[in-house]
Structure 1
Amino acid sequence: MMTTPQKLDPMLDCIGIGLGPFNLSIAALADQDKTQLSTRFLERKPSFSWHPGLLLSDAKMQTSFLKDLVTAIDPTSQYSFLNYLVTQQKFYPFCASGQSVISRLEFSDYLAWTAHQLPNAQFDCNVKNVEYKDGQFTVSSENDTFTSEHLIIGTGMQAYVPECIKGQLSSTCFHASELALRAPDLTGKRVAIIGGGQTGADIFQHTFDQHFGKPAHIEWITRRPNIEQLDEGCFTDQYFMPDYVNHFYPLDQKSKQQEITHQKLSSDGVTSDCLQNIYQRLYHDKYVLRNTKWWAIKPHQTLVGSQYRNGSYQLEIQHGLNKTVDNIQADVVILCTGFTHDLPACFDNLKHLMITDQHNRLILSSDYCLQWKGMQTNHIYIVNSGTHNHGIAEPQLSLAAWRAAKIINHLTQRSVYPLAENQNILDWGLDVEPQHDLAAVSSM
């Protein structure tokens, strides 16, 4: 039973719910005198954590450390990655290391370092209910009640599990986001890794390197036609610039989907460094050591069925070309199947006010404002809402600081932060101004 909140703070300009990297970027840029904003960012966890189950020792970021929480907008901010290096007394050793991308572990440490010095961040605050009435939002947790004029939703993504295996989830069949927390003993086990993106590659590499003991056999299964490399070209990087997002936003949904499909490997492939390391390991194992083959990589094959019998998983995988179905056995199944975006139950009292498209997806303005029935006076901003609104850069860290500044500028109704949105090498040939896309809407 929920206890009655004990404290009612003065009304805030804005409350942020969730403190992942995206809301953390907004909180950091909002914590400046020039914004003149009163804000509070609430997080249910007792301390900051960023996908702790995926913080494997050798996992790398896919973006430059300069694309941190603030530097692209305010390089003088105390919350920059460079200031983190200086205050942690490792600036010179870091420079000598020659890293262009850093480990997820170090970036996570930087995020935590930022989060726990922000005065507008509040941890151990599990929001139970959000309501809107009389021109204000009321946000209630177990112990506190807050009121605010505006709202920022940054509650993150939830692990996606294929329907055919949901019933088998257990200590030996789990989503990849739990791996480092579970630290399973894979010694002598048959391991099936499902999913061919960066997470699948990282987990295959760590499993192959025996970070969790030496498995008897590894099966790496992906429905992708190959183990595909991230497109890291300098021209591909133009997709991750404000100029392109502003050109992408006003497109019709059919054109947006065509672009997203075409750009898949610019955001959803495996880094060349990771692939090279894996391939060299496999070559050495097979052709130099001449080991009996204890691993298999199976592209173009989709998990379509699963049963748990006699202490092991019987997995059915279907080939994408000839449609044949094969069966494999595994003692441990690790699902590298990505994430999906669903609003938590605390927003149930707002959902009937929200506007969606014909696919039941939330619609955002170019300024990341949710289209909803109270939007004339009170704004709900959502970060990481999906690529259908702003394109493939939306779930990536590349434009986190720019998006945060765009939201803050809209909140304050002034240019607190210059956005430099027209800096680009390419001429996209779409000279249109971003507009609110209100086509094909319906009540949720």
Structure 2
Amino acid sequence: MSQVLPGDAPLIHDLIGIGFGPSNVAMAIALSEHNARVERQDAVTAHFFERQPSFGWHRGMLIDDATMQVSFLKDLVTLRNPSSEYTFLCYLQSKGRLVDFVNHKSFFPLRVEFHDYLEWAAAKVDDMVSYGHEVIAVEPVVRDGVVEYLDVTARSGAETVVHRARNLVIGTGLRPFVPDGIERSDHIWHTSELLTKLEQLDGLEGADPSRFVVVGAGQSAAENVAYLHRRFPEAEVCAVFSRYGYSPADDSSFANRVFDPAAVDEYFTAPEDVKRKLMDYHGNTNYSVVDVDLIADLYRQVYQEKVLGTERLRFLNMSRLTGVEEAGDKVRATATSSVTGEDTTLEADVVVFATGYSPVDPFGVLGEVAERCHRDDQGRARVERDYRLATEPEVRCGIYLQGGTEHTHGITSSLLSNIAVRVGEILDSIVERGAEPAEGEPEPVADGIGSVR
């Protein structure tokens, strides 16, 4: 545990962010816009650490024809500041495609295009981020029994750096999930690495696959099935899922209100039994569901193949994958029918798990600071309305979560829908809680808007 001693305190940031995905990019933009409006002495100084060497968001799933499932108006800034220079529309204008996009008459851009927008926005605030730096420790800095700051240690290669913060914003995103006992390999993939793995497959001689098995019933699973079927015209693609068929996503106007900023207030204040009901009622807006147009396309394809007698697209519905065994350059997958109990064995070149993601445990990175954070009766983080971890009174610094707050803030907490509003609320909380230096503390030295060196 670090102790503040005379003369040993490093320069201090008002905010340090862990991770620089869409959520913390939006945070950096909100800081930049805030600092542009206030006097220099009132600016919020900040720095972010990102373990990737450059910005990247689900790169392995940037399938060429996949579209966003959220309106372009729910970008990094619009719902917080429609006049911002960081909007998706400003991005389109800078690329010379604004008129073309308007003529396209769609609210849902290509995913690869939206990723390019995110890169464009991240580049505008990259003076605040250190790429290639993985945060490996967070330690409390104590003065007179009070945790005044947090020392954040980040590693880049063999070097480490330590930065001190009044506030911490954790935006480490989600981690790919595969069932227990499954080890990813050259022949067993998660959807998050689809395109990367396919590039490696293309580099192997005689690697033309004859069969893929895709496990899962959500949007990513269906997109994988459609893409692999199109890209490998000689290969069989087998979809395995426990349902009778893909379930359509409810993206109707009333249902989409569950993603409104006001819905966060309602969910946060609701009793626990109401929270559970709301998640049950509206899970079909996001979880294990597929766009209805994609469902129709897949059904059209499988029916066409039946007519032509060339069935490459197979659906093993009402089935579970009960065995996966690698044998040389093949994988033996066993699907068990939930109705008959009969097994179907498939020898495949690749098994792709479209089994979703799990949130990163915020306590994992906090070290001994986690012992000062409160949990609910299920062991989950207790989170205040401003996305701040509930802590012991002795913890003066703020620890904010961008993600992992579904149980407190509802279904939208890990999605793009509410990013712009959420970062504004976090910034307001940090400013309102105050960032005045404690007695004897050195002043931070600004190097550009919102960064400290």
**With structure 1 as the length reference, what TM-score do the two structures score?**
0.85
For residues 152-204 of structure 1, the C-alpha deviation after alignment (integer angstroms, 9 at most, x for no partner) is: 000111110101423xx210111111111121357342110011111001111
**Match for residue 315 of structure 2 among 297, 300, 307:** 297
Q: How does 1:92-241 map to 2 (within 5 A)?
A: 92-118=99-125, 119-134=127-142, 135-142=148-155, 143-166=160-183, 169-183=184-198, 184-185=201-202, 187-210=208-231, 213-241=232-260
Q: In the alignment, which residue of structure 1 is the partner of 2:32?
A: 31
**Match for residue 309 of structure 1 among 320, 327, 341:** 327
Report sequence identity in percent: 27
Is the Cα contact below 8 Å between 1:15 and 1:150 reproduced in 2?
Answer: yes
In the alignment, structure 1 residue 272 sits paired with structure 2 residue 273: no
- Quick one: distance in 2 between partners of 1:323 and 1:249? 43
Q: 1:273 to 1:251 in 2, by over 3 A?
A: same
How far off its partner does 1:374 sit?
A: 5.4
Q: In the alignment, which residue of structure 1 is the partner of 2:401?
A: 382
- Quick one: distance in 2 between partners of 1:406 and 1:68? 16
In the alignment, structure 1 residue 248 sits paired with structure 2 residue 267: yes
For residues 255-276 of structure 1, the C-alpha deviation after alignment (integer angstroms, 9 at most, x for no partner) is: 3222212211111221123223
- Quick one: distance in 1 between partners of 2:104 and 2:394? 49
How far off its partner does 1:221 sit?
A: 1.0
- Quick one: distance in 1 between partners of 2:10 and 2:65? 44
Q: Which moves more between the two structures, 56-65 or 216-225?
A: 216-225
Is the Cα contact below 8 Å between 2:187 and 2:331 reproduced in 1?
Answer: no
Aligned residues, how many?
403
The aligned amino acid for 1:196 is A
Q: Secondary structure at the match of 1:116?
A: helix
Q: How does 1:63-74 map to 2 (within 5 A)?
A: 63-74=70-81
**Match for residue 304 of structure 2 among 259, 270, 284:** 284
The aligned amino acid for 1:327 is T
Q: Secondary structure at the match of 2:164?
A: strand
Is the Cα contact below 8 Å between 1:221 and 1:301 reproduced in 2?
Answer: yes
Q: 1:127 to 1:319 in 2, by over 3 A?
A: same
How far off its partner does 1:147 sit?
A: 0.8
Q: Secondary structure at the match of 2:352?
A: strand
Is the Cα contact below 8 Å between 1:191 and 1:215 reproduced in 2?
Answer: no
The aligned amino acid for 1:122 is S
- Quick one: distance in 1 between partners of 2:189 and 2:426? 36
The aligned amino acid for 1:217 is E
How big is the alpha-carbon RMSD for the aligned residues of Structure 1 and Structure 2? 2.3
Q: 1:240 to 1:160 in 2, by over 3 A?
A: same
Look at both structures and tell me which one has the larger radius of gyration over its CA atoms. Answer: 2
How far off its partner does 1:53 sit?
A: 0.8
For residues 321-353 of structure 1, the C-alpha deviation after alignment (integer angstroms, 9 at most, x for no partner) is: 555544333221011111111237543333323
Is the Cα contact below 8 Å between 2:373 and 2:390 reproduced in 1?
Answer: yes
Is the Cα contact below 8 Å between 2:191 and 2:353 reproduced in 1?
Answer: yes
Is the Cα contact below 8 Å between 2:325 and 2:333 reproduced in 1?
Answer: yes
How far off its partner does 1:311 sit?
A: 4.4
Q: 1:358 to 1:315 in 2, by over 3 A?
A: farther
Q: Which moves more between the two structures, 173-182 or 368-377?
A: 368-377
Q: In the alignment, which residue of structure 2 is the partner of 1:406?
A: 425
How far off its partner does 1:364 sit?
A: 1.0
Q: 1:8 to 1:316 in 2, by over 3 A?
A: farther
How far off its partner does 1:386 sit?
A: 4.2
Q: Secondary structure at the match of 1:68?
A: coil
- Quick one: distance in 2 between partners of 1:302 and 1:348? 38
How far off its partner does 1:281 sit?
A: 2.6
Q: Secondary structure at the match of 1:393?
A: helix
- Quick one: distance in 2 between partners of 1:100 and 1:382? 29
**With structure 2 as the length reference, what TM-score do the two structures score?**
0.83
> Which segments of 5 or more consecutive residues in structure 2 lack a partner in the other structure?
1-7, 143-147, 434-453
**Match for residue 331 of structure 1 among 330, 340, 349:** 349
Greater helix proportion = 2
Is the Cα contact below 8 Å between 1:61 and 1:101 reproduced in 2?
Answer: yes
Q: Which moves more between the two structures, 74-83 or 307-316?
A: 307-316
How far off its partner does 1:104 sit?
A: 1.0
